[in-house]
Chain A
Amino acid sequence: MTGLRRKDRVLPGLSITLGFGVLYLSLIVLIPLAALVLKSANLSPSEWWNTISDPRVVASYKLSLMTAFFAALVNLVFGLLLAWVLVRYRFPGKRIMDGLIDLPFALPTAVAGIALTTIYAPKGWVGSLLEPLGIKVAYTPLGITIALIFIGLPFVVRTVQPIIQDMESDMEEAAVLLGSYRLRTFFRIILPDLIPPLLTGFALAFARGIGEYGSVVFISGNMPMKTEIAPLLIITKLEQYQYSQAAAVAVVLLLISFVLLLFINILQRWSNRRLRTVKGD
């Protein structure tokens, strides 16, 4: 990472591509994000704190964090299961199943939102089966969690899948030869290698869930203090022309995302190092 060296500049176009890239990045991403921080700085520190510590705001952060956490936890378990089944087993319809994993990336969130609400509403296909059992899904935190499970589904599967694919079977072979049972082999030999990608997938799904809006807003019912997620509260503040307060709520949300981003980067570095030591270079 030294400066420009003569011999690196055989190829043309550095100044124009880098110049355009940095300009475009600044105009579309960096300057608008700076505007957010500046706007929230309009508030005095005590106003800032009052905005953030308002019970309704705190309730919305808690709800967003809790539902995103549980949804990511469900995806951790089922994501591992799906990745395992897709790599290790052969069965009819496998390719379609593999393709469907990416649907949450491709399907607009509003479509997912209204479809999930219709299914899990008290009169919906699944909701009507759960209603007699006393389980309400739509318009409760459980409904929000279901929407976030949908949104976060691909993350764990797609981070774990390539690792299972590249796994060498010699360790498994050795374990079997030494008389290990299958379940024990899985927990002692296979699972430890999967922990870094599982945590990465979990963190990605968690981060996505905290900020998610479109798929949640239909199923959540949007009751203040009960089912009002943090992104919705930002919109509510905006509609009441409380711009600086909206910015303050958003800055905290942004900080949570950045901490998670940092955590993911550290995880990935750790997992790369682990892989390198295992492979012995």
Chain B
Amino acid sequence: MAGIVTNPRAGKKTAPTRPHLTESRTVRYVLIGISLVFLALIVILPMVAVIAESFRKGWSAYLSALTDPDAMSALRLTLITALIAVPLNTIFGVAVAWAVTKFKFRGKNLLITLIDLPFAVSPVVSGLIYVLLFGAQGFLGPWLDAHNIHIIFATPGIVLATMFVTFPFVARELIPLMESQGVQDEEAAVSLGARGWRVFFKVTLPNIKWGLLYGMILCNARAMGEFGAVSVVSGHIRGETNTLPLHIEILYNEYQFSAAFAVASLLMLLAIVTLVAKSILESRMSQEH
């Protein structure tokens, strides 16, 4: 719920402006003006601030903030986390979308509702649940401790918390898409003698490829940027359990503002790339329909 409201058809069609069905020119300009001021204050200024603050101390300070060993290790952990969480959630998303859209079974609606559950959970609570399960005082804590397995305040906990918050992205993108495509193509392939994986790779995958990529890109953006959930399970050990967003927090709280914003600019770049890719995929998808 508290996730993404996707709208692949956004900006597709513009209503013809017939004079009697629109506002006067003045009203139009005033409304556009108010919208721009609002967006400037809430969205555009923060982006400008990130760039301005990160270069406040010049290029060399900017580069040294990014090449700092702690920043590099945070980058590495962020990439590792996304490299595990995104593929696993993708496999889950494809599997569950296949089951839900190609077959009828009892409890299907309940299953679809449960997939969305992580969007309704506060990021902090998303981290907390793993602490309560795997932490020192958690249900499995003593057993894990006895077997010298570290989950909380270590990489596995960060990966798990990230998997939880990014859990629904691919599935909720694919379910409506595959629902609208029905089962005729796959059934035709089966009746022509194709089997299992071949049906999926030759028939289903080409039909869903843009939607799948769309879900993966959104999943990745959230996986690399998650803060609240990861913050609860990480333990904030420098050079070990800090992801990029956590590294930003530490630098900021130590008043190293330009370094914090330099690292932030890297994540902002990721956000911009995500938005551009998203808009390209949206126009691809609306062309195919």
A-side residues, CB < 8 A to B, are 1-5, 8-14, 16-18, 20-22, 24-25, 28-33, 35-36, 38-39, 78, 81-82, 84-91, 94-95, 97-112, 114-116, 118-119, 124-126, 146, 149-150, 153-155, 158-159, 161-162, 165, 169, 172-173, 176, 182, 201, 204, 207-208, 210-214, 218, 230-232, 234-235, 238, 241, 243, 246-247, 250, 253-254, 257-258, 260-261, 264
Nearest to B108 among chain A residues (CB) is A1
Nearest to B264 among chain A residues (CB) is A111
The yes or no answer to B211 lying at the interface (CB within 8 A) is no
**CB neighbours of B28 from chain A (8 A):** 89
Task: Verify A1–B228 contact, CB threshold 8 A.
Answer: no
Find residues 187-225 in chain B having any chain A CB closer than 8 Å to their own CB.
187, 190-191, 195-196, 199-200, 218, 221, 224-225
The yes or no answer to B146 lying at the interface (CB within 8 A) is no
Q: Closest CB of chain A to B262's CB: distance in Å?
A: 11
Task: Verify B117–A3 contact, CB threshold 8 A.
Answer: no
The digit string for B116-148, where 1 denotes a CB below 8 A from any CB of A, is 111011111100111111010111000000000
**CB neighbours of A28 from chain B (8 A):** 160, 163-164, 167
Q: Which of B98, B164, B186, B199 contacts A17 (CB 8 A)?
A: B98
**CB neighbours of B276 from chain A (8 A):** 99
Nearest to B187 among chain A residues (CB) is A10
Q: Which of A11, A107, A211, A260 contacts B102 (CB 8 A)?
A: A11
Which bucket holds chain B's interface residue count?
A: 35 or more
Task: Verify A103–B43 contact, CB threshold 8 A.
Answer: yes
**CB neighbours of B186 from chain A (8 A):** 11
Q: Closest CB of chain B to A5's CB: distance in Å?
A: 7
Task: Verify B228–A231 contact, CB threshold 8 A.
Answer: yes
The digit string for B71-114, where 1 denotes a CB below 8 A from any CB of A, is 00000000000000000100110011011001111101101001
Task: Verify A261–B104 contact, CB threshold 8 A.
Answer: no
**CB neighbours of B88 from chain A (8 A):** 24
Task: Verify A30–B114 contact, CB threshold 8 A.
Answer: yes
Write 23 A-B pairs (CB below 8 A) sorted by A numbering.
Answer: A1-B106, A1-B109, A3-B106, A4-B103, A12-B196, A78-B38, A84-B31, A107-B267, A108-B226, A109-B225, A109-B227, A109-B228, A109-B245, A115-B46, A153-B42, A204-B2, A208-B1, A212-B228, A214-B227, A231-B123, A243-B131, A243-B138, A253-B125
